[in-house]
């Protein structure tokens, strides 16, 4: 007997690719733990990325270079426990895919065993053979071009990328190389909107923008940034949809006041011996 309600379809890499053909925008956010994963999945987010931005927003580090495989696998396992519908992508951290193709395969395999359904890698050039091998072995790969934070020292900071004509041509060529290598989607970070539009129109796979304007096939933001978990002013491309730092402070202040005044715990939150 039918219950009347059909469960929403599981998002797969194939469905993400088809969304581009159907001109349906792809909604992506990062998550690093079980409760956020539950909330994002129930809210209907299409793709959840366990980003190496965990280094910044969970561990308080200045760059993403400091996070390793073990931490990323723990976070992926926690997020996977909360995700039913969204596509779950794990970010391969610095040095987990650059040293050799064999190491990249073993590390990507650890993510799939932890519950991820795809992995993300940054860059093109020497990374292209790695992507080809992973895809050949059945591991879906999301690319990442433009501002690639794992190359922060080479790039000289977190500045806008692809401003010069020659850099725009290289970005377009790299994007095509990643699509040809088998990537199912491509993150474009911090590039001018006009350039992101050109890349998006030139590819059959969807582009997911962060600081790349409105013409990408989807958008991604770091969860803690869009929820306002920090008091520092947000970056230009971040829109804050909540002010959780202030909300949490308010809740903690109320709790502190009630503990100090003896108002908490009241009888509703207290066990008694049965009479």
Beta carbon of residue 220, minimum distance to ligand KIV (angstroms, whole number) = 5
Token pair of 113 as six digits: 């065993």
With binding defined as CB under 6 A, does residue 51 bind ligand KIV?
Answer: yes
> Is 12 buried (19+), middle (13-18) or exposed (0-12) by CB count in 10 A?
middle
Q: Which is nearer to ligand KIV, 55 or 179 (CB)?
A: 55
In the bound complex, which residue of the shown chain has the CB atom lying closest to ligand KIV? 51
Beta carbon of residue 142, minimum distance to ligand KIV (angstroms, whole number) = 9
Applying CB under 6 A, the site for ligand KIV has a residue count of: 10
Could you give the CA distance from residue 100 to residue 102 in angstroms, rounded to a whole number? 5
Beta carbon of residue 263, minimum distance to ligand KIV (angstroms, whole number) = 41
Catalytic residue among 189, 257, 258, 274: 189
Binding part of the chain for ligand KIV, among 50-58, 98-106, 235-243, 256-264 by CB under 6 A, reads: 50-58
Binding part of the chain for ligand KIV, among 5-13, 49-57, 106-114, 257-265 by CB under 6 A, reads: 49-57
With binding defined as CB under 6 A, does residue 217 bind ligand KIV?
Answer: no
With binding defined as CB under 6 A, does residue 53 bind ligand KIV?
Answer: yes
Counted residue by residue, the chain has a size of: 275
Whether cis (ω within 30° of 0) applies to the bond prior to 265 is: yes
User: What is the contact mask toward ligand KIV in residues 133 to 172, using x (rule: CB under 6 A)?
Assistant: ----------------------------------------
| The binder of ligand KIV chosen from 78, 127, 210, 226 (CB under 6 A) | 210
189 included as an active-site residue: yes
User: What is the phi/psi pair of residue 219, to 5°?
Assistant: -130, 150
- What are the CB-based long-range contacts (under 8 Å, 24+) for 174-179? 174/123, 174/124, 174/125, 174/145, 175/124, 175/143, 175/145, 175/199, 175/202, 175/203, 175/207, 176/202, 176/203, 177/124, 177/128, 178/124, 178/128, 178/131, 178/143, 178/145, 179/143, 179/203, 179/204, 179/205
Instruction: Name residues contacting ligand KIV, limited to 168-197 (CB under 6 A).
Output: 187
CB neighbour burial string for 75-100, b if at least 16 within 10 angstroms, e if fewer: bbbbbbebbebbbbbbbbbbebbbee
Beta carbon of residue 256, minimum distance to ligand KIV (angstroms, whole number) = 33
CB 105 within 8 A of CB 65: no
| The binder of ligand KIV chosen from 46, 91, 117, 225 (CB under 6 A) | 91
Active site (catalytic) residues: 189
Per CB under 6 A, residues contacting ligand KIV are: 30, 49, 51-53, 91, 187, 210, 220, 222
């Amino acid at each position: 007997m039918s219950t009347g309600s059909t469960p929403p379809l599981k998002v797969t890499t194939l469905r993400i690719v088809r969304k581009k053909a159907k001109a349906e925008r792809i909604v992506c956010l990062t998550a690093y733990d079980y409760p956020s994963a539950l909330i994002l999945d129930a809210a209907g987010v299409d793709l959840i990325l366990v980003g190496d931005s965990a280094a910044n927003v969970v561990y308080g580090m200045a760059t993403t270079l400091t996070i390793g495989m073990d931490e990323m696998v723990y976070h992926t396992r926690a997020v996977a426990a909360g995700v039913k519908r969204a596509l779950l992508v794990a970010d391969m951290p610095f040095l987990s895919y650059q040293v050799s193709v064999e190491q990249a395969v073993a590390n990507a395999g650890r993510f799939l065993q932890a519950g991820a359904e795809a992995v993300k890698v940054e860059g093109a050039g020497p990374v292209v053979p790695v992507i080809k091998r992973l895809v050949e072995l059945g591991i879906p790969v999301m690319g990442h071009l433009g501002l690639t934070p794992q190359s922060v020292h080479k790039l000289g900071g977190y500045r806008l990328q692809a401003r010069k004509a020659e850099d725009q041509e290289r970005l377009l060529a790299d994007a095509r190389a990643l699509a040809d290598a088998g990537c199912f989607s491509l993150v474009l970070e911090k590039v001018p909107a006009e350039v992101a539009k050109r890349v998006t129109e030139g590819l059959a796979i969807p582009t997911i923008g962060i600081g790349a304007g409105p013409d990408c096939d989807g958008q991604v933001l770091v969860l803690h940034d869009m929820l306002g978990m920090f008091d520092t002013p947000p970056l230009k491309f971040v829109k804050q949809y909540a002010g959780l730092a202030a909300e949490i402070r308010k809740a903690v202040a109320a709790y502190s006041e009630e503990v100090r005044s003896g108002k908490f715990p009241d009888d509703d939150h207290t066990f008694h011996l049965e009479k």
